């Protein structure tokens, strides 16, 4: 997208994890058999109808049937151009159903700007913006812009329904008073920042300012209210990724930081008036993950930097430990359902990820396991999501391995309780994104 080029990340509890299993002994997990041909990249499950729902409170439940769905932006494709679209795999009781899939494209689902369909169509955030029980998808597009003056808003909304994400998107309406300067209104973050129970959106405004749009939103893409841009700590800040309640006060918070290099992070705290309060400032890092690695309900932070990973227990506590893995990516999620998060570290080696198990005294001193996805060393491994897809209250891990255009494999590893390890060694679901056509 032709934006300001400064993408910022909001760290999130339950961030994505990457893995493969290396535990000894038999795998006694209850994972379902893989729903594709796991040995062959490019194979896909036969099409199935999207389950019809009645509405739910489950995150990422676009059809409201009570089962979490998966959004895929990186799709294996041949002959579909640079942007093949957004893939949706719908869930069902017991986990994802690769056959119940959907391809969203700019041609079929995008809204026109000045008569032109967007050239880009990528998912950015998801939450129930209009409070109807169906999760909605915020999409980033590339509207026509001549470079003069204030650019158009590049974000569009696809609303969920009993049959999922269908029909044409609508443009997100950002009032002029809520913008500042001539930057793109992008990097959306979903969260309930004012504690009223409705989902809001925070966008990049300009410099150290954020646009705050209060929900709920109308079906035409208009927020309930929007004031002047709010000041955020730091310089040239924008946002991107879901928010979380770091200090457990009932208001979602967000972390803003520059993505392209090691940069300082700033926690912006929610409150009755929205995300207007400055929280802890974090030192320069390339990635941040929040999780309850130690005592239950106490939020901790893992900050990855070129020199290693610094751990801060009880945010905003001072750094109390360090993991000597350089240039890593960090993720957090409760894989075994004990109320504590595991820290998963990518970049430990080619195709490898290391898992550090959460304990009452903090993270295990050494990695619990070295994880390498099937044939991960032969391809490019990417973590897609960590969330509970099978409804057992333990996070599952979605990993994609790609071998160039048209060849990939997505594997879903169920979380598991017990001493054998927090994640099953074998994927419960396996499929290829080449089937999205």
pTM: 0.88
pLDDT (0 to 100) of residue 372: 65
pLDDT (0 to 100) of residue 120: 92
pLDDT (0 to 100) of residue 381: 76
pLDDT (0 to 100) of residue 241: 61
pLDDT (0 to 100) of residue 33: 38
- Let me know: does 22 contact 371? Beta carbons within 8 Å: yes
Model pLDDT for residues 319-373, shown as the tens digit of each residue: 778 888 888 888 889 999 999 998 888 766 677 778 888 888 888 888 787 666 7
pLDDT (0 to 100) of residue 215: 98
Splitting the chain (437 residues) into consecutive groups of 10 residues, what average pLDDT does each group show? 40 35 35 40 74 96 98 80 84 95 95 92 96 98 92 97 97 97 93 97 90 97 96 66 86 85 87 92 87 84 90 82 84 90 78 82 81 70 86 89 82 86 85 88
- Let me know: does 38 contact 31? Beta carbons within 8 Å: no
pLDDT (0 to 100) of residue 349: 67
Model pLDDT for residues 276-327, shown as the tens digit of each residue: 998 888 888 888 889 999 877 778 999 988 889 999 888 887 777 888 888 8
């Amino acid at each position: 997208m032709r934006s300001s080029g400064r993408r910022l990340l909001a760290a999130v509890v339950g961030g994505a994890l990457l893995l493969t299993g290396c535990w000894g002994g038999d795998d006694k997990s209850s994972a379902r058999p893989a729903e594709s041909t796991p040995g062959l990249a490019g194979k896909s499950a036969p099409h199935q109808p999207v389950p019809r729902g009645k509405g739910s409170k489950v995150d990422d439940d676009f059809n409201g049937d009570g089962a979490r769905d998966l959004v895929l932006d990186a799709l294996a494709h041949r002959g579909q151009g640079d942007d093949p679209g957004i893939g949706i795999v719908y869930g069902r009781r017991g986990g994802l159903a690769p056959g119940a899939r959907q391809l969203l494209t700019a041609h079929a689902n995008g809204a026109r700007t000045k008569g032109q369909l967007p050239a880009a169509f990528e998912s950015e955030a998801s939450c129930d913006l209009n409070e109807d029980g169906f999760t909605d998808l915020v999409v980033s597009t590339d509207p026509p812009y001549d470079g003069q003056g204030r650019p158009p808003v590049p974000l569009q909304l696809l609303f969920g329904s009993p049959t999922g994400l269908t029909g044409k998107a609508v443009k997100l309406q950002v009032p002029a008073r809520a913008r500042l300067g001539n930057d793109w209104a992008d990097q959306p973050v979903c969260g309930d920042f004012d504690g009223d129970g409705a989902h809001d959106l925070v966008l990049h405004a300009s410099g150290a300012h954020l646009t705050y749009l209060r929900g709920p939103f109308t079906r035409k893409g208009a927020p309930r209210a929007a004031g002047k841009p709010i000041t955020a700590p730091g310089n040239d800040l924008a946002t991107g990724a879901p928010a979380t309640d770091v200090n457990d006060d009932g208001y979602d918070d967000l972390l803003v930081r520059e993505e392209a290099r090691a940069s300082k992070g700033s926690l912006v705290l929610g409150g009755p008036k929205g995300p207007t309060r400055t929280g802890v400032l974090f030192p320069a890092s390339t990635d941040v993950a929040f999780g309850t690695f130690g005592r239950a309900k106490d939020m901790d932070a893992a900050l990855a930097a070129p020199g290693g990973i610094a751990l801060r227990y009880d945010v905003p506590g001072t750094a109390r430990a360090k993991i000597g893995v350089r240039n890593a990516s960090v993720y957090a999620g409760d894989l075994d359902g004990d109320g504590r998060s595991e820290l998963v570290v990518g970049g430990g080696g080619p195709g490898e990820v290391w898992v550090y198990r959460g304990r009452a005294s903090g993270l295990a001193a050494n990695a619990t396991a070295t994880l390498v996805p099937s044939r991960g060393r032969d391809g490019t491994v990417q973590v897609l999501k960590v969330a509970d897809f099978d409804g057992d209250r333990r996070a599952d891990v979605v990993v994609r391995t790609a071998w160039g255009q048209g060849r990939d494999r997505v594997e879903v590893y169920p979380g598991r309780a017990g001493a054998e390890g927090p994640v099953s060694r074998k994927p419960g679901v396996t499929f290829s994104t080449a089937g999205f056509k």
